[in-house]
Amino acid sequence: MDSRPLNVDAHWYELPLKLIFNRRPQLSDAARFIILHRLGGLYVDVDTIYLRDMQPFFKHEFAYHWSILDAFNTAVLRLFPQSNVSSIIIDRARRTRSAWTFLPSSLHTYSLPTDFHRFPCAFFDPVWLTVDGGDPETNKQWKLSEGLFEGFKDSFIQRSKISHQGLTAFDGAFTFHWHSSSSGVMYEPGSYVDQWKQFFDTQVYDQSHKTLVSI
């Protein structure tokens, strides 16, 4: 396969866009690759919060490990402009005309460049392995509820063994992806996200406001 950067503008009409537009998840999967191919940068799902500066990763192209599966997850995705990675994936979509080409769990089946890294799940999605049963020892310590979304709620919007550890609970993580588990649900006082809100209000917003007032 020719892995030279693809001129996407010359192939728009060949992409399976009609199949994608009415399917929001597939549209999101495709858009992140197409936009990053044109502009480069870092894509992060909206249901993700930053815990640390991401600059150490900027010199790499990467996604992260899909929990216990041998697959990529692109909730956090870094690509360079005109990337060989996105060129291969977009060209595949053009040739197969399949709406599923951009699906994150399919990427590991493609012949992608070896410098497209699959970083550990714990860097960006620190609860997923535990929720999926890939880390039973940690699950025993955290006492998460059974079920995917219940487990994420425990760790994010409810008082739990995790929230008792304070903001240092995920010391090795750079982001926290909560998989939309908090939709329509209020967070409890003292929960992990409530502690971050308190930190933002007192350490970030208040300090910024004082600085602006003094100028």
**114, 163: one domain:** no
**103, 161: one domain:** no
Using alpha carbons, list the distances in angstroms from residue 166 to 142, 144, 192, 193.
Answer: 13, 16, 7, 10
The domain boundary, picked from 87, 119, 151, lies at 119
Model confidence at 5, pLDDT cuts 50, 70, 90, reads low
Q: Which range marks the domain in which residue 114 is found?
A: 8-51+76-119
Q: What is the mean pLDDT of the chain?
A: 84
Domain assignment of residue 60, yes or no: no
How confident is the model at residue 135, as a pLDDT? 85
Question: In the beta sheet, which residues pair with residue 73?
Answer: 64
**Whole-model pTM?**
0.82
How confident is the model at residue 1, as a pLDDT? 46
* Residue 126 burial class via C-beta count within 10 angstroms: exposed 0-12, middle 13-18, buried 19 and up: buried
Domain count, the chain: 2
**29, 105: one domain:** yes
Secondary structure (3-state) at 178: coil
Cβ distance 137 to 143 under 8 Å? no
